[in-house]
């Protein structure tokens, strides 16, 4: 990892732009393709994929594609097909991409290529937890007419996001409870000073909260539970599809729900780009070892 690499960053949003800049700052020879229309100028934008053959490492966007066909490249001057990119790569290169779908994996395999999914790595998930947690705090501050300090907050789920969130609300002075299923998760929540609830036994205990943040991708907040919430209680759902809240019931009951997905790229693209950088470096280190 001491030497200078030839790296291509292809497609993506502000995170990839930042990633390219950071790679260049670290002394690598960086080329970009499909980032033409970015707000700030990026290093050595290429007109074509000619020259990508000489790359040591190629970094595809997060996600690589939305539909399995077109590369996710909102800043490109035109549409780029995934196959157009894959056709230009060779098997000696380290190819990385984020949230790589089955279709792309298959297309790569057909060409003898391996795509390493940086988004599947634990350390990126942890690092992304920070902007997600901050994004949720920002939403809570924007929506609630009370301060986080002194408010009563329930965090459902005690995985990565749950931990980072409960910690932040706690240090900001909120009275935090955590709902989880596993005794060991509840034990962790307790040693960090939060109140604890069994997720199964939440019925009848939801009326005391000013804010409920869900991180669990199963229907935890159904109509019956939503009915319990006190007036003005805000619900933030961070769970990926299908989400953990019955949105229709919430609408009928007048409960305000903010379903917030993909926060890192939205609230802190630079931090998110840096997290991808660190993960790509880890992949490179492991390949060399």
Please give the residue ranges that form the binding site for a copy of itself (CB under 8 A): 14, 121-124, 126-127, 129-131, 134-135, 137-138, 141-142, 144-150, 164, 167-168, 171-173, 182-184, 186-188, 190-193, 267-271, 282
Question: Is the distance from CB of 59 to CB of 16 less than 8 angstroms?
Answer: yes
Question: Is the distance from CB of 21 to CB of 32 less than 8 angstroms?
Answer: no
Shortest spacing between CB 40 and a copy of itself, in angstroms: 10
DSSP 239: P
Helix axes 160-171, 122-143, angle to 10 degrees: 40
Residue closest to 159 by CA, chosen among 131, 197, 189:
189
Shortest spacing between CB 109 and a copy of itself, in angstroms: 26
Evaluate the CA torsion angle 59, 61, 131, 283 in order and state its sign.
Answer: negative
Instruction: Name which of 196 and 247 has its Cβ closer to a copy of itself.
Output: 196
Shortest spacing between CB 61 and a copy of itself, in angstroms: 18
* Strand ordering across the sheet containing 6-10: 29-33, 6-10, 57-59, 94-97, 115-117
Instruction: Name which of 14 and 76 has its Cβ closer to a copy of itself.
Output: 14
* Strand ordering across the sheet containing 234-237: 195-198, 175-180, 152-156, 211-214, 234-237, 257-259
Measured in degrees and rounded to the nearest 5, phi and psi for residue 272 equal -65, -40
Half-sphere exposure of residue 4, counting CA atoms within 13 Å on the CB side? Answer: 6
Shortest spacing between CB 184 and a copy of itself, in angstroms: 4
Shortest spacing between CB 248 and a copy of itself, in angstroms: 25
Instruction: Name which of 106 and 141 has its Cβ closer to a copy of itself.
Output: 141
Helix H or strand E encompassing 57: strand 57-59
Instruction: Name which of 193 and 251 has its Cβ closer to a copy of itself.
Output: 193
Instruction: Name which of 123 and 224 has its Cβ closer to a copy of itself.
Output: 123
Instruction: Name which of 171 and 207 has its Cβ closer to a copy of itself.
Output: 171
Shortest spacing between CB 112 and a copy of itself, in angstroms: 28
């Amino acid at each position: 990892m001491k030497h200078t690499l030839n790296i291509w960053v292809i497609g993506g949003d502000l995170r990839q732009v930042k990633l390219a800049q950071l790679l260049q700052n670290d002394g690598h020879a960086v080329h970009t393709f499909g980032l033409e229309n970015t707000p700030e100028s990026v290093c050595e934008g290429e007109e074509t994929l000619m020259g990508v053959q000489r790359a040591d490492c190629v970094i595809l966007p997060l996600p690589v594609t939305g539909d399995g066909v077109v590369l996710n490249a909102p800043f490109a001057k035109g549409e780029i097909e995934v196959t157009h990119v894959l056709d230009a790569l060779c098997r000696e290169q380290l190819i990385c991409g984020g949230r790589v779908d089955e279709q792309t994996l298959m297309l790569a395999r057909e060409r003898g290529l391996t795509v390493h999914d940086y988004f599947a790595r634990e350390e990126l998930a942890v690092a992304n937890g920070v902007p997600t947690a901050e994004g949720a705090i920002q939403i809570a501050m924007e929506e609630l007419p009370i301060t986080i300090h002194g408010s009563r907050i329930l965090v459902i789920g005690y995985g990565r996001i749950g931990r980072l969130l409960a910690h932040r609300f706690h240090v900001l002075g909120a009275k935090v409870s955590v709902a989880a299923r596993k005794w060991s998760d509840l034990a962790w929540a307790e040693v960090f000073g939060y109140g604890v609830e069994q997720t199964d036994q939440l019925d009848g205990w939801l009326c005391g909260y000013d804010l409920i943040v869900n991180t669990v991708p199963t229907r935890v907040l159904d109509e019956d539970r939503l009915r319990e919430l006190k007036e003005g209680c805000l619900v933030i759902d961070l769970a990926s599809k299908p989400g953990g809240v019955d949105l229709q019931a919430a609408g009928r009951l007048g409960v305000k729900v903010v379903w917030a997905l993909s926060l890192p790229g939205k609230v802190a693209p630079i931090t998110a780009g840096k997290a991808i950088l660190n993960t790509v470096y880890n992949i490179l280190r492991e390949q060399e070892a």
